[in-house]
A and B are shown apart, each in its own frame.
Chain A
Amino acid sequence: MSNSDANILNSSSFSTTTSTSNNDNNKNWSLSNISTALSNFVIQYNYGSMSCALLIMSASVCTYNDDIKLYSDCELMGEQKEWVEPTANSIVYLGSIIGQLTLGFCGDYFGRTIALAIALFLTTIGAFFSAVAPPYNNEKAVSIYAVIIFFRFIMGIGVGAIFPLTATKADEDAGREQTNGNPEKKLNLIAASWSYFWQMPGILAPWVLTFLLNLNKNSSASANWRCLLGFGAIPSGICTVLLVIEYLSSDVKSSEKLLTRETVSQNTWGELKEYMSNRSSQYKLIGASMPWFLFDFYIYGLGLVSGYILISINGSTKDSNVSSAANLLLISYEEIILLVSTIPGTIL
């Protein structure tokens, strides 16, 4: 470890000793455990729900029929103009990048719990308002997509920030719990892995919900896609409340003094610049980010094109109307099978 590293670490060491009972410690760790696990579910549900919603939406909100203006006259069901799908999907990632950069910094400045609560609140707002996007009838489809895309961007800011905040919070809180609240700086990486595991149900959930919604032939396409997008607000809302409860407990407040500017030097930005001026720190950043960059490049890339690969494998499984109930059932069924099959890999 370099001198620079050591200085940074010394400056962030605890200056006080907390004395908390084991019961309080357990209670807070359990809350933290639940909130970080549920937050990871929220990440993947909200990333995936838009793709499912777009499949359903094309039956009722078709941009090719703007001139006709009536939902019932969507003659080209399943057809969308080229900008709809890539914009709706990529805007979430754009928001995520902004959220990771800004709320990540807030996590170091204000503390993990507060920053995570803000991230989840933004996610709740974004998911809820994209589900209730006006107009509700006889209006241009473009305006619906514009409203949804705006709120997906807001949601993306929150969802993106959940990644670094839950990973760090899970590690630190579990490490603290293992030392009975004794503020030794230990991390428990298994805790982050455990909370990460809950991303898997989050990936599955939108497809399962799509499948179930399409089994009910009486529900309209509009109700289905609104339900699909809006469902993402429920777990994130619950998580926000859990984090507020957790923060209001005295134990968390005291243990997170480490992370506030009350007990360490006042200049987060200065500490960051000092740390990153060291060559070994730069290598660490490359080691932390580049494997993730490469992995996300091919796994998200293949994920987005997996539908096309499945079509290549099965021939044309779709009829001319992508949004027909039969097609949606088939597509969601295949995706569920594909995703369930990946669970053993995740457990391994």
Chain B
Amino acid sequence: MIPKTGYKKGQFYSFIIHSVALAVIAIFFHLISTKSSKGMFAFYTLMSCFLQIGVQITTFSIPSASFPTNVRVTLNGLSCAIAKVGALLGGSILYPIYLRSGENWTIVLVLCSFLAAIGAVVTHYFVDIEDIIIKEAPDNNKNNDRKESELSRI
């Protein structure tokens, strides 16, 4: 999907997919889990598959394309560090929220869906890598069958 949409659009659409997937899990979690545990496991597994689409790769790649060469790794590292603060917060906050909400996963999943929607908004307004050119052109200098793709001019 990413090579076709580009990294910014790919991240935007992926966040929307995540938001919808998490909302769907939230809606059906209680309904299905009380009726069929195996059905719920299959459903949760399928939804988890949707949560792997796009964003994992774009968030990993976009920082490299966002900054100039001589400060690239420093600012990529700073972006990573901010992300890991998010991981720490998520890991330490979500379970207490579940406990305080009367052991209700729906609230946790709705919160995650909301955060994914915010991710789409932030991507739309703040990600600045419009100069990435997605093209499928042969590299005449070397291998004619090699696809020259995802070259970004910095």
Q: Is the CB of B53 within 8 A of A295?
A: no
Q: Is the CB of A268 within 8 A of B71?
A: yes
Interface residues on chain A, number (Cβ under 8 Å): 96
Q: Which residue of B lies closest to A290 (CB)?
A: B122
Q: Is the CB of A301 within 8 A of B94?
A: yes
Say if the beta carbon of B27 comes within 8 Å of chain A: no
Q: Is the CB of B126 within 8 A of A286?
A: yes
* Residues of chain A lying within 8 A (CB to CB) of residue B77: 100-101, 103-105, 107, 161, 163-165
Say if the beta carbon of A280 comes within 8 Å of chain B: yes
CA gap between A271 and B56 in the complex, in Å? 30
Say if the beta carbon of B31 comes within 8 Å of chain A: no
Q: Is the CB of A97 within 8 A of B51?
A: no
Q: Is the CB of A101 within 8 A of B78?
A: yes
Q: Is the CB of A345 within 8 A of B53?
A: yes
Give residues 35-57 of B contacting A (CB, 8 Å).
37, 40-41, 44-46, 48-57
A-B contact count (CB 8 A): 326
For the complex formed, measure the closest distance between the CB of B80 and the CB atoms of chain A, giving whole angstroms: 4
* Residues of chain B lying within 8 A (CB to CB) of residue A291: 11, 15, 55, 58-59, 62, 119, 122-123, 127
* Residues of chain B lying within 8 A (CB to CB) of residue A104: 73-78, 80-81
A285-B79, A301-B94, A344-B49 are known contacts. Are A96 and B84 too (CB-CB below 8 A)? yes
Of A12, A94, A288, which is in contact with the most chain B CB atoms at under 10 Å from its CB?
A: A288
Give residues 207-247 of A contacting B (CB, 8 Å).
none
CA gap between A211 and B82 in the complex, in Å? 34
Q: Is the CB of B152 within 8 A of A186?
A: yes
Hey, what's the 0/1 contact readout for A174-199 against B, CB within 8 Å counting as 1? 01001110000111111011001101
Say if the beta carbon of A8 comes within 8 Å of chain B: yes
Give residues 121-137 of B contacting A (CB, 8 Å).
122-123, 125-128, 132
For the complex formed, measure the closest distance between the CB of A247 and the CB atoms of chain B, giving whole angstroms: 16
Say if the beta carbon of A89 comes within 8 Å of chain B: yes
CA gap between A302 and B79 in the complex, in Å? 21
Q: Which of the candidate stretches A57-65, A143-151, A307-315 sits at the interface with the other chain?
A: A307-315
Say if the beta carbon of A283 comes within 8 Å of chain B: yes
Which residue of B2, B53, B72, B146 contacts A193 across the interface (Cβ within 8 Å)? B2
Q: Is the CB of B52 within 8 A of A100?
A: no
Q: Which residue of A lies closest to B142 (CB)?
A: A180
Q: Which of the candidate stretches A75-83, A126-134, A323-331, A335-343 sits at the interface with the other chain?
A: A335-343
For the complex formed, measure the closest distance between the CB of A263 and the CB atoms of chain B, giving whole angstroms: 10
Q: Which residue of A lies closest to B133 (CB)?
A: A186
Q: Is the CB of B57 within 8 A of A112?
A: no
* Residues of chain A lying within 8 A (CB to CB) of residue B67: 275, 281, 284, 288
A-B contact pairs, 11 of them (CB 8 A): A105-B77, A180-B141, A186-B152, A187-B65, A293-B82, A293-B85, A294-B86, A294-B122, A302-B108, A302-B112, A308-B95
Interface of A toward B, CB cutoff 8 Å:
5, 8-9, 11-12, 22, 86, 89-90, 93-94, 96-97, 100-101, 103-105, 107-108, 112, 115, 160-161, 163-165, 167-168, 171-172, 175, 178-180, 185-190, 192-193, 196-197, 199, 258-259, 264, 268, 271-272, 275, 280-281, 283-306, 308-310, 312-315, 334, 337-338, 341-346, 348
Interface of B toward A, CB cutoff 8 Å:
1-3, 7, 11, 15, 18, 22, 33, 37, 40-41, 44-46, 48-95, 98, 105, 108, 111-112, 115-116, 118-119, 122-123, 125-128, 132, 139, 141-142, 146, 148-154
